[in-house]
Every structure is written in C-alpha cells, then in structure tokens.
Structure 1
Amino acid sequence: MVDMNTLTASSSIPEKVDWLAERYWKFSRDERLLESLKGLFVLDKDGELTSEPARDPLTRETAGLMVLAPSGSGKTALLMRAIRATKVLSEVAEGEAGNTMYVTVPAEATIKSLAELIARRAGYGGMTSKIRAHEAWAVARHRLRVAGIKLLIIDEAHHLVRPGPGRDVPGAVQSLKHLLQGDAAVAVILVGVPKLREAVMSDEETDRRFEKLPLKPISAGSREAEHFAKCCEWMASSLGLTMAVRDRLPERILFAEQGQLGRAVDLFKETMTRALRARREFPSLEDAEQRFEALYGPREMSPFAPGNWDAVKSELEKSGWGR
C-alpha cells in the first residue's frame, strides 16, 4: 500500500489517484479558524489551546462560532482538518471516546430530532416518541456532559432554521443558545450557508454569542489565487503531470467555480484524475471541461474553451457568466 504522504517513480495509477484524493489544501482560512478556536477554549500559559471551553466569568456561559459560506466552499473539510490538526481535540467515533462531537443535520431534521441524534451519539439508548423538544434537549445536554464532550460541531445547521409548516425557527434558535448555558454547556460551532446567520440574527442574544467566520471566495489576482495556482502546480508535478502554462488552468478553474475553494479543489483533482487514468502526462482543458459538464451540464461556451484565456474570459463575462 502506498504511503499517503509520499509518491515514488514506481507508484501505480490507483496509488496516485488515492494520494491525490487524500491531499488537503491549507489556506489562510485555516489560521483564521485556529484563532477563532482560541476564543472558544481556555488557553494554557503558552497561549495554546486546552480542551476546556472558556466561560464568561460573569454568566458562566460558553462561546460559539458560526462558519458561514455557500455550498461547495470547503467548510466541512476545513472543520474536519482542524479536529485532526488540533492535539487537544479528538472526535467521537463508533466505539471510540472523544471530546468533540461532529453531527450533520439531515435536510428534513427538526430541532427535536437533532436533540435525539446528539443524545444517541452520546450513548443514550432512545427516546419515546411522545417526548417534547425541550425535554429531548435536556436529555441531550445531560448526555453530552456524561460523555465528556467539550465541543459540539453542527454541520448543515441552516436546515434547522428553514421556515415551513410545522417548523419552529425561534425554538430552534433558542435551543442552540441553551447549549452555551448551564453546567452542561459546551463550546459550539455552527456550520452552514449565510442564511443561517440571517435566522440567528432574529434573536439578538443568541447572535452575539456566536462569533462569525465567513469564508469568502478567492478573488482573481489575489494572494490566495496565487497560492491556489502554486498548489495546483505542485500537485501536478508530484503526480508526474505537466500543465501547459498557456492553458492557465488554475485561473480557469477558479473562474468556473466562482472562487469557491472546495469546488475548485475538487474540480482540479478530478481533472488530474482523468489525465492519470488516460495515461497522459499532460492534463488538458478537455479533461476539465468534461468534468465540469458532468457536474453542471453542457454549456454553449465554458471557461475551458480552447484559445487565449483572457479572450475566453472576456466573452464569458459579456454573456453574464456567474450572475
């Protein structure tokens, strides 16, 4: 089996594909998340994180964080990597204890069903169907304390505050606030699209308890765009592939995905994977276009059309691309 950290001249194509899939791309957002985590936990004498949630000395409440960005921006990968990279945090897994619980909210979840999910993940056998939402949350908070959970990460949290028949948005917002209160309080990270913040803003007390970390798209010509291009070049070189400079593939990918990092990284990886499986040393614009069309459907003209990139980009912008 290939070492996921290294490749050799004898590495097989499947090994290269697996290696590429395992690579995490570190950007400035990783450092910003680490700084935000330092606001959620007590720091040791050297200013490093401990696993003990920080509490307001006057109210004894813990703190929260909202990580906000559109779908495909790489929020989940960012949080997952932060858990792995932070020595004092360990995720609860099946059969394994930890101090961090990561839950993903199903699209049709209610605030009550989320409480049931959290309690079940924390070792509770099951709740009666007649239990009320506030009772379910009392059980969930108790089970978090018993299980030694210090950090609760709720991904796709915007599903909880989606309006509609039978849904209680104010109740959901209050339940999120209660996670930060009382003896069983934990640090909480909410992950979702910007509409999550709009819903939480409806309750000023809850909104101010959550620091906001928006993940902005990468702008063309920025330092982050340059870093993205360098990552692409290094990855391709490590795989034994050569990108044609004239194609300006990294720029095209960022433009195609409107600067959303998660989608841009995925598109680059899939483009390289197509070249590897075809046993070609030079990934092509056609590789990228085929993957792009597989995701979004055919276009009259895509960012991977042949020709000078500046000219292609100009035509796309004139046609209203990305609006």
Structure 2
Amino acid sequence: MTMSASDLNINAKLAAVDRLRDKYLATPRDVQFRSYLDRLLQRDERGKLLPKARLFNKAGDARGIAVVEPAGGGKTSLVLHGLKTHPALQPRDAAHQPWVGVRVPSPPTAKSLGLEILKASGYPAVSRRSVTEYDITQKVRDHFKLRGTAVLWIDEAHDLFGAGSKHKVDVSLKIIRNLMQGEDAVSVVLSGIESLWQIASCDAQVTRRYWRLPLADVSPHSDRKALTKVIAGFSDAAGMRPPTDEDLVDRLVHASRNRFGRCIENILAALEAAAMDDADELTINHFAESWGMQEGCGMGQNVFLARHWAKIDLGEAQLNWEGAR
C-alpha cells in the first residue's frame, strides 16, 4: 500500500521527535556536577586530572558525591552524561574501565548489589550461594584494581538504604565504605531521591565521606528564557512553529512538578501529539492532550486547560507517573 503525503509527513515528524529524545540537553547543572566530580580525582604534577581516586587523608580514604533530587528531575541522565564525557574517565583500551555504573537491583541487598557491580565490571558469573558479602567485596576490589576503575556509580541508591533493617543498611554502607579505603580505593557517586540523604546521613561516616549535591527545582521565572528556547528549538527540529501562549512555560513547570526532566518529557510528548496531527504549529492543546493522557485527569484538572491551573494540587501522592529520572 502506498503511503499518502500526509502519512509520510507525519512519519518524518515523529522520527524527528524520536531523534530529539536521544539528544542530551546540557544545562548549568552539568557544570556543577563536573566541578564535584573533578574534586574526586587525582591530578598529576601539571594539574591534569587522572583516572584515579583522590585520597583525602593519610589513611587512604576516598570520598564520594550524593546527587539528590526528587523523581523526574533528570539526575540519572545527568550523572551518566557526566561520567561518559569526562576526559579523565575515557578508557584507554578494552581492558580499561575507569568508571562502573549500576542500578540497585531487586532485592536491594548488599550481596545483590555486590554481584551487580561484578557483572557490570565484566567479572565472570558468580553463584550467589557460594559467596559471602566479604568475598564479593574482595572480588570487586581486586577486579577494580585490574581494570583501573576509579569511580563507582550507584543509581537509585535510596532503594538500598531504605530497605530492610538497620543492620542490613549498615552492612551495605560498610561494603561501600570498604571500597573507598586503601591504595586502590574508588570514589563513589550515589544518586537517588531525598530519602537517600535522609537515611544515609544518619551515619556520621556518610556525612564525612560524601558531598551532598542537591539539584535545584526548575523555576518559571529564572528558567523561563531557557525553557522557551528549548521549546522553540525542538519545535523547529520537528518542522513546526513554536507555541505563542504567554503562560505556557508557567503551566509547563507546574505540570512538571518543577522538575527539569519532566519538563523535557512533557515538551517531547506534546510534540509527538502535534506530529500525530500533522500540525504545522505546536500549541498548548497538544500539551493538554499528551499531559491529560499521561495523568489520566479530567479537563477541569488539566493544568494546560484549566483557568485556575495554579490551584490544581499535584502532590506526589496523586501521581500516576514516575516521569524521566
């Protein structure tokens, strides 16, 4: 069957939106994270950063970063991009792995985390029943040394510290702390929601070893120009004119719970709705359509349609959407 000109145009616009989804959008937050990350690494005599954890005392203790932000802010993408693009953390060859990243597995135990780290570092499969937490920690240390690993990133770290008894949490903290000690220590980046720091900071060792990096919410005032530019740029890339509604950014930020990642997701979802309509212009109605589908709300509770949208309560308990992490 031959496709119509309209179908071809719709497909082209949808393809453009998909390409935008694959695009990383740099912000001042990247500079902030890079500054923290640089402080975790050693430098040579000329000041050049090296793929080796910096030790902060005579005992040989490395430090870490706790990147804290509510769900949907974009912290996972931020940390991943920062590690992947850092000049000092580029592998020299296939055997060199300057950084290792894992997401806390299920069930979130110290042993399952250790096995996940081994897997991510290219270690051969290990039987869960045949090893203890101590055995796994030693294997991780040895393999990190072999592969030249300097940074370990643990995403969704709040799941690890928020599950189980205090004893299990202490075991997890002890294992991570062990990896941060000694000649072959690694620096650790933890990322998660606010409860990560609320739980982990109860341990004095955590507050001493980690720098907390809270990522600020998006503001419709200070970020208006930047968000307007993103909407215009994305619209142009998808072959559409940008919307002209004066209060769109204000509604967008409120609908996105002031989270950067959700703002971007909502813009892309609206563009997809517009592409499906083969529209030449992105409008506030496209935002209303895509956001309404995602939230499952009625017209009266749709932030992009309601007259008194600012009064609509978007408390976390009412959300059905996890959003972009």
Could you say what secondary structure the match of 1:221 adopts?
coil
The alignment status of 1:290 with 2:289, answered yes or no, reads yes
Deviation at 1:46, TM superposition (A): 6.1
Could you say what secondary structure the match of 2:154 adopts?
strand
Question: Could you report, residue by residue, the CA deviation over 1:110-162 in whole angstroms, capped at 9, with x for unpaired residues?
Answer: 11111111122321331350422222222222222222211111111111112
The alignment status of 1:179 with 2:195, answered yes or no, reads no
Counterpart Cα distance in 1 of 2:193 and 2:38: 23
Residue 322 of structure 2 corresponds to which residue in structure 1? Answer: none
CA contact (8 A) 1:65 1:189 kept: yes
TM-score normalised by the chain length of structure 2? 0.85
Residue 3 of structure 1 corresponds to which residue in structure 2? Answer: none
Q: Which piece of structure 1 moves more, 30-39 or 129-138?
A: 129-138
Could you say what secondary structure the match of 1:272 adopts?
helix
Q: Which piece of structure 1 moves more, 159-168 or 148-157?
A: 159-168
Task: Give the 3 Å change call, closer, same or farther, for CA 15–111 of structure 1 in structure 2.
Answer: same
The percent identity for this pair of structures is 22
CA contact (8 A) 2:108 2:163 kept: no
Counterpart Cα distance in 2 of 1:148 and 1:96: 9
Residue 52 of structure 2 corresponds to which residue in structure 1? Answer: 52
Task: Give the 3 Å change call, closer, same or farther, for CA 165–63 of structure 1 in structure 2.
Answer: closer
Could you say what secondary structure the match of 1:276 adopts?
helix
1:231-270 equivalences under 5 Å are 231-246=230-245, 248-270=247-269
Counterpart Cα distance in 2 of 1:45 and 1:281: 57
Question: Could you report, residue by residue, the CA deviation over 1:42-65 in whole angstroms, capped at 9, with x for unpaired residues?
Answer: 235665532121112422111111
Q: Which piece of structure 1 moves more, 111-120 or 162-171?
A: 162-171
Counterpart Cα distance in 1 of 2:92 and 2:261: 25
Residue 99 of structure 2 corresponds to which residue in structure 1? Answer: 100
Counterpart Cα distance in 1 of 2:44 and 2:268: 39
Task: Give the 3 Å change call, closer, same or farther, for CA 213–274 of structure 1 in structure 2.
Answer: same
Amino acid at match of 1:235: F
Task: Give the 3 Å change call, closer, same or farther, for CA 158–92 of structure 1 in structure 2.
Answer: farther
Counterpart Cα distance in 2 of 1:157 and 1:244: 39
The alignment status of 1:317 with 2:316, answered yes or no, reads no
Counterpart Cα distance in 2 of 1:142 and 1:18: 41
Question: Could you report, residue by residue, the CA deviation over 1:183-237 in whole angstroms, capped at 9, with x for unpaired residues?
Answer: 3311110011111111211210222101111112112201x33212212212212
Amino acid at match of 1:316: W
Q: Which piece of structure 1 moves more, 20-29 or 239-248?
A: 239-248
Residue 274 of structure 2 corresponds to which residue in structure 1? Answer: 275
Residue 114 of structure 1 corresponds to which residue in structure 2? Answer: 113
Select the structure with the greater relative contact order (CA < 8 A; seq sep ≥ 6).
2
Task: Give the 3 Å change call, closer, same or farther, for CA 238–208 of structure 1 in structure 2.
Answer: same
1:1-323 equivalences under 5 Å are 12-44=12-44, 47-90=47-90, 97-122=96-121, 123-164=123-164, 168-222=168-222, 224-246=223-245, 248-299=247-298, 300-305=300-305, 312=307, 315-322=308-315
Q: Which piece of structure 1 moves more, 24-33 or 42-51?
A: 42-51
Deviation at 1:167, TM superposition (A): 6.8
Across the two proteins, how many residue pairs are aligned to each other? 305
Displacement over 6 Å in runs of 4+: none
Counterpart Cα distance in 1 of 2:111 and 2:239: 51
- Normalized per residue, which structure has more helix? 2
Q: Which piece of structure 1 moves more, 159-168 or 187-196?
A: 159-168
Amino acid at match of 2:210: F
Amino acid at match of 1:139: K
Q: Which piece of structure 1 moves more, 187-196 or 234-243?
A: 234-243
Deviation at 1:322, TM superposition (A): 4.3
The two structures, once aligned, show a CA RMSD in angstroms of: 2.6
Could you say what secondary structure the match of 1:245 adopts?
coil
Could you say what secondary structure the match of 1:101 adopts?
strand
Counterpart Cα distance in 2 of 1:46 and 1:217: 37
Could you say what secondary structure the match of 1:211 adopts?
strand
Task: Give the 3 Å change call, closer, same or farther, for CA 131–321 of structure 1 in structure 2.
Answer: closer
Counterpart Cα distance in 2 of 1:96 and 1:284: 50
CA contact (8 A) 1:99 1:151 kept: yes
Task: Give the 3 Å change call, closer, same or farther, for CA 287–19 of structure 1 in structure 2.
Answer: same
